[in-house]
Amino acid sequence: MAETDYYELLQVDRTADDKTIKSSYRRLAMECHPDRNPGCEISEAKFKSISVAYDVLKDPQKRAAYDRYGHAAFQQGGGGGGQGFEGFSDIFESVFGEFMGGGRGRGGANSALRGADLRYDLEITLEDAYHGKSEQIRIDVAAACDVCHGSGAKEGTSAKGCPTCAGHGKVRAQQGFFVVERTCPTCHGRGQVIADPCTACRGEGRVEKTKTLELKIPKGVDEGTRIRMTGEGEAGARGGPAGDLYVFIHVARHDLFQRDGTTLFVSAPIGFSTAALGGTIEVPGLDGEVHEIRIPPGIQSGKQLRQRGVGMPVLNGRGQGDLVVQVDVETPTHLTARQRELLEEFRTTETGSESPQAESFFSKLKGKLAGE
């Protein structure tokens, strides 16, 4: 006999959210509640049906199992001797096994397992980050045994299904109403046993090795950039695929340049006369070229001048950022007699307009002191 769809019973779409399902259930339950329909067998039967439907659809796990298997999700095994629960457990595990058991559903214990991912931290210079480079790195890693090719069994033999769990990796026992599941004590969850283990790896299928890898560092990498080397992580168990190696880049502090994304910053001291009269200075870049920076007359200390397109390269892209030169005006400290004479002569001709910021500051200060 065909059973009515739970969504039809509650009069909601299959995509309905929890709030909609709850609201519809309350409305229907009020309409056909036995207390409001005394002696009506049809209303009583409908009330029971919608209660069963709501009990399933309000539970995210039960709802997912119902969406996938329909009513069979709760009927498999016929209910004899607790097998109905066990049947549902199989379905539940196939639906949620990826989250609850790492993707190893029942019967999947003897499948090959992927190896762990590894991390390696590498420090490079800012010049390396600018130009990119190839770097050899050495790592200690659990690699597949060359003798047994990762199987763990002696050459000429192979692993066999565990007789205790029939290859499931788990055993179940019924305790009253409940079915208890635990890891197989014979194969320890692997689903297989090795009668004649490989002598090279003692049946593990993996051995510790030191590997030398060639790492290509692209231009423009920054602090914290992660480079993935596929398949260079730990070897998988029982011949499973290897994990990945993640190389985290750390850029060493530079003596001259500071970096913000693709922008390079550098401080350049200039002399008093260059600041006053203007001129040009030469700043070496990370590209190996010398860049000429024009200094406008009357520049103040701390002023930033931008040179377009000579900063850091864009990672995995085209073009470059900018070079920002911060000017620091240096006051002369060791003067010759002639230089001092010229500066004294300059001072006698000053009117205040040569340094408008200083003139404005002291004028305001005098006004404050005079109470203006």
Strands (E), 252-331: 258-260, 263-271, 279-284, 290-295, 304-307, 323-330
Domain 112-153+205-253 has CATH 2.60.260.20: yes
| Residue 352 confidence (pLDDT) above 60 | yes
Q: How sure is the predictor about 131, in pLDDT bands with cuts at 50, 70 and 90?
A: very high
32 is in an annotated binding site: no
What is the Rg, in whole angstroms, of the alpha carbon atoms belonging to the chain? 39
Q: How sure is the predictor about 102, in pLDDT bands with cuts at 50, 70 and 90?
A: very low
Q: How sure is the predictor about 265, in pLDDT bands with cuts at 50, 70 and 90?
A: very high
Class of domain 6-100: mainly alpha
Each residue's pLDDT tens digit, 267-294: 999 998 999 999 999 999 998 899 999 9
The one-letter amino acid at 111: S
Same fold across 112-153+205-253 and 258-366: yes
Each as own residue / partner, the long-range contacts of residues 224-229 (CB below 8 Å, 24 or more positions apart, any chain) are 224/248, 224/249, 224/250, 225/249, 225/315
Domain 258-366 has CATH 2.60.260.20: yes
145 is in an annotated binding site: yes
Helices (H), 58-123: 60-69, 83-100
Distance of alpha carbon 93 from alpha carbon 72, whole angstroms: 15
What are the residue boundaries of the structural domains of the chain, listed by start?
A: 6-100, 112-153+205-253, 258-366
If one compares 18 and 107, the residue with the highest pLDDT of the two is 18
Q: How sure is the predictor about 369, in pLDDT bands with cuts at 50, 70 and 90?
A: low
Distance of alpha carbon 88 from alpha carbon 77, whole angstroms: 8
184 is in an annotated binding site: yes
Q: What DSSP letter does each residue of 149-180 carry, written as one string? A: TTS-BPTT---EE-TTTTTSSEEEEEETTEEE
| Residue 364 confidence (pLDDT) above 70 | no
| Residue 230 confidence (pLDDT) above 90 | yes
Backbone angles phi, psi at 275, to 5 degrees: -65, -40
Identify which of 107, 236, 258 has the alpha carbon closest to the alpha carbon of residue 184.
107
Distance of alpha carbon 329 from alpha carbon 274, whole angstroms: 9
Each residue's pLDDT tens digit, 151-208: 888 888 888 888 888 888 888 876 665 677 888 888 877 788 888 888 888 888 888 8
On whether the pTM is more than 0.75, the answer is no
Average pLDDT over residues 6-34: 89
